[in-house]
Chains A and B, each alone.
Chain A
Amino acid sequence: GAGVSQTPSNKVTEKGKYVELRCDPISGHTALYWYRQSLGQGPEFLIYFQGTGAADDSGLPNDRFFAVRPEGSVSTLKIQRTERGDSAVYLCASSLNRGGSPLHFGNGTRLTVT
């Protein structure tokens, strides 16, 4: 079946602009996670949704970052007033969230802020 889909795969934007990154999880997966990964580092947790609600948003670096999942399926990560330091690969993952259910990742969106 279809895996986790992230669009766009690449995004180049100018400093100060607003961007939206989209994640389509695997159908039926109730849990959805956003991570950010810089070169040479492991994925850094940003936010975790259980259904429509954010169960944990403690990883969001500041109030320029916001994420939604209005119908409990597709999620959008929104970044306002982008800065060069926001440049990274943004990864989305979904899971059934039963016990130790594994995460299924998309291939990420590479964001470059110029």
Chain B
Amino acid sequence: DAKTTQPNSMESNEEEPVHLPCNHSTISGTDYIHWYRQLPSQGPEYVIHGLTSNVNNRMASLAIAEDRKSSTLILHRATLRDAAVYYCIRYVVGNQFYFGTGTSLTVIP
């Protein structure tokens, strides 16, 4: 089963950091962890991905647990434009990307 577990919803205050958790306890050594987000009426947008090491890019940081059974997407300073549904995906190379129902992030001004 390639599915992941995320909270249905989270809230954050504007300009504060946000930590979005994801469990992928059955992950295997060659599976990647991908994060996408989806704003209303748009297709999902790539955020970040990683394999074993923590990753940073201009949008976010990805912290991967040492045992790889969980990960956390970190938005360093939430803005109103970050309000979206965030999907954590365990990608099995050569296979499909399975999307769950994601975490709906609300940013409070």
A residues 96-114 touching B (CB-CB < 8 Å):
99-100, 102-108
A103 touches B44 (CB 8 A): yes
Q: How far is the CA of A104 from the CA of B93 in the complex (A)?
A: 16
Q: How far is the CA of A4 from the CA of B43 in the complex (A)?
A: 10
Closest-by-CB residue of B relative to A31 is B94
Contact of B43 among A41, A44, A59, A91 (CB under 8 A): A91
Q: Dominant SS at the B interface?
A: loop
Inter-chain CB contacts under 8 Å: number: 55
Contact of A102 among B46, B99, B101 (CB under 8 A): B46
> How does the 8 Å CB contact mask read for B48-85 relative to A, with 1 for contact and 0 for none?
01110000000000000000000000000000000001
What range describes how many residues of A lie at the interface? 20 to 34
- Is A65 positioned at the interface, with any CB of B under 8 Å from its CB? no
In the complex, how many angstroms separate the beta carbon of B87 from the nearest chain A beta carbon? 6
In the complex where A91-B44, A103-B46, A107-B42 touch, is A41 in contact with B51 (Cβ < 8 A)?
no
A42 touches B102 (CB 8 A): yes
Number of chain B residues close to chain A: CB under 8 A: 25
A35 touches B46 (CB 8 A): no
A100 touches B34 (CB 8 A): yes
B46 touches A45 (CB 8 A): no
- A–B Cβ pairs within 8 angstroms, 29 of them: A33-B97, A35-B99, A40-B101, A41-B101, A42-B101, A43-B44, A43-B99, A44-B99, A45-B96, A45-B98, A45-B99, A56-B95, A91-B43, A99-B93, A100-B32, A100-B34, A100-B49, A100-B50, A100-B51, A100-B91, A100-B93, A102-B34, A102-B46, A103-B36, A103-B44, A103-B46, A105-B43, A105-B45, A108-B43
Chain A residues with CB under 8 Å of chain B are 4, 33, 35, 40-45, 48, 55-56, 59, 91, 93, 99-100, 102-108
